[in-house]
Chain A
Amino acid sequence: MSFGKGLLTGLKVTLRNLTRRSVTAHYPDALPELPPRSRGVIALMEENCTVCMLCARECPAWCIYIDSHKETAPPATPGGRERSRNMLDQFDIDFSLCMYCSICVEVCPFDALYWSPEFEYAETDIRNLTHDKSRLQEWMWTVPPPPALDPGALPPKEIATAEKAAARLAAPSDATAAETAAPKDPPTKPAHRAPREDQP
């Protein structure tokens, strides 16, 4: 019988897969393993933020709300100039508007914003999707170190600058020693990316 041959071939595939283990992950019981670059939620390291407003300006969805005030510190030396610095009052990201494009993280010149792969922050009220700075700071605990790069890649910017600085320091004394002393180990996480111990 030629008719039905195709159907039987299909059923054979089904039968073969019936004997194999299921590939489906049972999500709430089994959590997915997400790669470090996963764009789940944006974490804020408040100490690094200088209120330069670049992230809020570059955001294509305008979902970052920043407010600040200026504080003046007394001069460090008598007769010196008063120092003023920006103090962050408000840093909110509205995740109901966010397009997860990563532009804010990319433009931040002081590494105050990071991606975390955490994604379980669904809310029943849309207003709760606006995370304030304390909630964004909380996500810092979940930020993973960046992955090591391919051997064909140039070393990350942080390591390249550090190597250059080390070479510059060592150059006056011994130019050849600087080359051997330069760190050769694969690029790992920069120290500042780990959440600080003294922070909640």
Chain B
Amino acid sequence: MSEPPNHETAGSGKVQRIVGLGAGAAGFAGHERGGTGSASEIATEDMILNIGPQHPATHGVLRLKLTLDGERIVACEPIVGYMHRGVEKLFEVRDYRQIIVLANRHDWLSAFSSELGVVLAVERMLGMEVPVRATWTRMLLAELNRVLNHLMFLGSYPLEIGAITPIFYAFRERETIQEVMEEISGGRMHYMFNRVGGLKEDLPAGWLNRVAAAVTAVRSRLPQIEDLIFGNEIFQARTRGVGVLSAEAIAQYGVSGPIARASGVDFDLRRDDPYLAYDELTASGALTVSTRTAGDCYARFGLLLDQVKVSLDLAEACVDRIAALPQGPINVRLPKILKAPEGHTYAWTENPLGINGYYLVSRGEKTPWRLKLRSASFNNIAVLPTMLNGCVVADMVAILGSMFFVVGDVDK
């Protein structure tokens, strides 16, 4: 048993072990804790508490094996794999179109961005030039997907720590954007809209106007979510200063995405290793990388809202650009049997939850020899033990929710 940090028993001056009665009793003298007043140690045992695999506070089947000393967590072991589907192995027996089907399913909240990584890798292997129309439409859809993903967490995170209302607002906005996504791709979650060499189909007539209208509508209603939850004192009490993640831990565990940027790690692949045409958006000033420095749950949550605002700006910039493009194709005609030439490449994209990478090794077959998937959620979950040690159980829920992961993306 270890000593809980920064807690001293009142009156005694020396650090004492808080046992069995929970960290809530940390500030009380012995008699108030039901003891004899001598502050003598009560012999207790650590308790193993399993959070999950089925638990309302976790979304999905993540299991956390917590060792508790009273209310305080002394050890945490995330046990993953309950949803392991062997996706990397399945990639090896599927051609490049069928891989997209699986790629948009490991992280079901950022389906479009996950598809994108696969096709970018294959296109790079083939040395394929993608039509400019496809590039900009891909970027538009990727940003809309990012907004959808962040809105989900903007709604579900308050829900996890007891605020029920925001999710309804978040889902209203999601629905507005999902309508335009469904109109172009036909899917609401698994868009299956990327193809090697471009996109599956061209835009329907008038779709760009509807996207612009949806972006404007979401932007105009975003302050409601902000007013609803960000100023809320109860919410702030639960999240401010809780679960601070240091930049060192981020570097050690390979944490990426909004969680890393909330701790001041200024790294965003859209700017730092631009794919598609993000370099043009950076140059035009539309793409700014938002960061926060606090690194606590509140900063992580707040960063999502910052990113939604930036993504809506980017979507608008893409709409303007696509409307100005001359008539042209949206995809490249592919051969009947598509084979990537022998070789290997690594394509990474800034997915809504962090860096999503595909290491593609081909031996010239129509299926990849190996397609390694580096998913953001896995690394973001790996850092949990260092964050949870010394926390109380109630904060565990707040911290876990603020790590913004999708279990399918952890377990692959």
Contact = CB atoms under 8 A, between A and B. Distances in A.
Interface of A: 3-7, 9-10, 12-14, 17, 23, 34-35, 37-39, 58, 60, 99-103, 106, 115, 147-154, 186
9 pairs of A and B residues whose beta carbons are closest in the complex: A6-B231, A153-B202, A37-B186, A147-B204, A150-B203, A60-B98, A35-B183, A148-B205, A101-B101
B322 interface: yes
A153 B328 CA distance: 6
Contacts, number: 111
Contacts of A101: 98, 100-101, 190, 192
A6 B205 contact: no
Contacts of A39: 186-187
Contact of B233 (A7, A17, A37, A151): A7
Nearest to B230: A6
B43 interface: no
Contacts of B33: none
B229 interface: yes
* SS class, residues of chain A in contact with chain B: loop
Given A60-B94, A153-B330, A38 B202 contact: no
A4 B233 contact: yes
A10 B97 contact: no
A150 B207 CA distance: 8
A186 B205 contact: yes
Q: Which of B101, B325, B330 has the most CB of A within 10 A?
A: B101
B378 to A, nearest CB: 23
B204 A37 contact: yes
Given A9-B227, A58-B98, A60-B98, A154 B329 contact: yes
B203 A153 contact: yes
A35 B200 contact: no
Given A13-B224, A34-B182, A101-B101, A154 B187 contact: no
B322 A152 contact: yes
Given A37-B184, A39-B187, A150-B208, 10 more contacts: A3-B233, A10-B227, A13-B227, A23-B175, A37-B185, A150-B205, A150-B206, A152-B203, A152-B322, A154-B330
A17 B328 CA distance: 44
Contacts of A103: 97-98, 101
A37 B326 contact: no
30 contacts: A4-B233, A6-B233, A6-B236, A7-B233, A9-B228, A9-B231, A10-B227, A10-B228, A12-B227, A17-B224, A37-B182, A37-B184, A37-B201, A37-B204, A39-B187, A58-B98, A100-B187, A101-B100, A103-B97, A103-B98, A115-B186, A148-B205, A149-B202, A149-B205, A150-B206, A152-B133, A152-B325, A153-B327, A154-B202, A154-B329
A149 B208 CA distance: 11
Interface in B282-331: 322-323, 325-330
B145 to A, nearest CB: 17
B285 to A, nearest CB: 25
A60 B183 contact: no
Interface of B: 94, 97-98, 100-102, 133, 165, 169, 172, 175, 179, 182-187, 190, 192, 200-208, 224, 227-236, 322-323, 325-330
Contact of A99 (B101, B184, B206): B101
Contact of B327 (A10, A100, A152): A152
Contacts of A151: 205, 327
Nearest to B93: A60
Contacts of B201: 37
Contacts of B204: 35, 37, 147-150
A38 to B, nearest CB: 5
Nearest to B133: A152
Contacts of A100: 187, 190, 192
A17 B228 CA distance: 11
Nearest to A117: B186
Contacts of B232: 6-7, 10
A7 B227 CA distance: 9
Nearest to B180: A35
Given A10-B227, A147-B204, A152 B183 contact: no
Contact of A37 (B183, B224, B230, B235): B183
B132 to A, nearest CB: 11
Q: Which of B133, B190, B227 has the most CB of A within 10 A?
A: B227
B381 to A, nearest CB: 26
Contacts of B182: 34-35, 37-38
B136 to A, nearest CB: 10
A148 B183 CA distance: 12
A93 B191 CA distance: 21
Contacts of A4: 233
Nearest to A153: B202
